[in-house]
Amino acid sequence: MLFYCEFTWFPGTTRKDVAERIVQQHDAGRNHPERIKGWYNLVGGGAGFLIVEYDDPKELTAFLQPYMDIISFDVRAVTENSYEETIEEMRKVARATSDEAIAL
């Protein structure tokens, strides 16, 4: 399952703090780069998001916990949509009655 993990550094956290923790976790083999499908930083620094793949949410929690004293996370499960399939599904919902649309 894919998870969107939005992150924000806590006030007072420095780039050096984050760099040291990332390198420490990497060197210990705990970052699992094979599970990180995307890593994006927001312009200006101090925030961004990861797209990660985990089958077990407990494993995802174990991955994030070593950072939780310097970084806040908002985690959400995500699904990928095929554009064409989604448009067809939305056409069905748009044509349906209110009760039918709920069931779709």
What pairs with residue 4 in β-bridges? 51, 76
For 66-98, give the secondary structure using H, E and C.
HHCCCEEEEEEEECCCCHHHHHHHHHHHHHCCH
Q: How many domains does the chain have?
A: 1
Whichever domain contains 55, its CATH number is 3.30.70.1060
| C-alpha to C-alpha distance for 92 and 31, rounded to whole angstroms | 42
Torsional sign, CA 68, 73, 78, 80: negative
- pLDDT of 102 reads 67
Digit-coded pLDDT (tens) for 3-53: 999 999 999 999 999 999 999 999 999 999 999 999 999 999 999 999 999
DSSP class of residue 1?
A: -
Residue span of the structural domain in which 12 resides:
2-103
